[in-house]
Amino acid sequence: MSNKHLNVVLLGPPGSGKGTQAELLRDRLGFVHYSTGEVFRDHIKRQTTVGLEVQEYVTSGKLVPDEVVLEAANAFVSEHVLDKVVFDGFPRTIPQAEGLDRVLEAHEQKVDYCVLIDLEDDEVVRRLSARRQCRKCNRIFNLTFSPPKSEGVCDACGGELYQREDDREETIRDRLAVYHEQTEPLVEYYRDRFVLERVDGAIGRDRVFAELRKLLVPDDED
């Protein structure tokens, strides 16, 4: 397997499977997974300067500003200069993408690939609105892909399954509107830099991963 350093940005609408693919790249191909939420939680836990700043915004319910987001990204990149990194759900906006470019340039690096896991809005709604969560143990099921054995009942603990507010169609449509407005311009941004690749998110988890593997480690002989 190639050990060549890579920086990969995963883009895609909610429900496209970005997080799942990032975890597969981490577990099977040795990538380091950058997830803004996880990185923030780690900084808060360790009470770093970034963590204290983030905590202040989170506690007051305010959006964490780009300069703090990029501060966290810079700290992460500094710790992983020799690793293959997959950025999952970051950057979200053009200013964040430009900031990430500056962070990487400071380490004589760049974004090598931006992979868009593409999925139609109606398919996003179909996938996410089929999710159900257990009230007791929080396990998540999907009525389409991984339904419970008994309708409305958790396989693990017997708790009641319910549909979260953010999995209702109107909420999903709102999230998609935000995605199209804020994040879609990144597609053009990375296309202009000749690093954009598209993968059809509708082909399923395993086939999407096979496409990513072929793209990112073409000399992989495993």
For residue 205, indicate whether it is catalytic: no
What is the residue-wise DSSP string for 80-142?
Answer: TTTS-EEEES---SHHHHHHHHHHHHHTT----EEEEEE--HHHHHHHHHTEEEETTT--EEE
CA distance 140 to 136: 11
For residue 131, indicate whether it is catalytic: yes
CB 185 within 8 A of CB 179: no
The torsion of the CA quartet 193, 108, 26, 215, rounded to 10 degrees, works out to 40
User: Which residue of the set 175, 191, 198, 213 is catalytic?
Assistant: 175
User: Which residue of the set 26, 28, 92, 198 is catalytic?
Assistant: 92
User: Which residue of the set 84, 127, 131, 132 is catalytic?
Assistant: 131
Number of helices and strands (H, E) in the chain?
A: 9, 8
User: Which residue of the set 135, 136, 164, 173 is catalytic?
Assistant: 164
For residue 18, indicate whether it is catalytic: yes
Q: Are strands 131-134 and 161-162 parallel, antiparallel or unpaired?
A: antiparallel
CA distance 202 to 83: 30
For residue 135, indicate whether it is catalytic: no
CA distance 53 to 57: 7
For residue 110, indicate whether it is catalytic: no
What is the residue-wise DSSP string for 137-170?
Answer: T--EEETTTB--SBTTB-TTT-PBEE--GGGSHH
User: Which residue of the set 18, 84, 127, 132 is catalytic?
Assistant: 18
Residues annotated as catalytic are 18, 92, 131, 164, 175
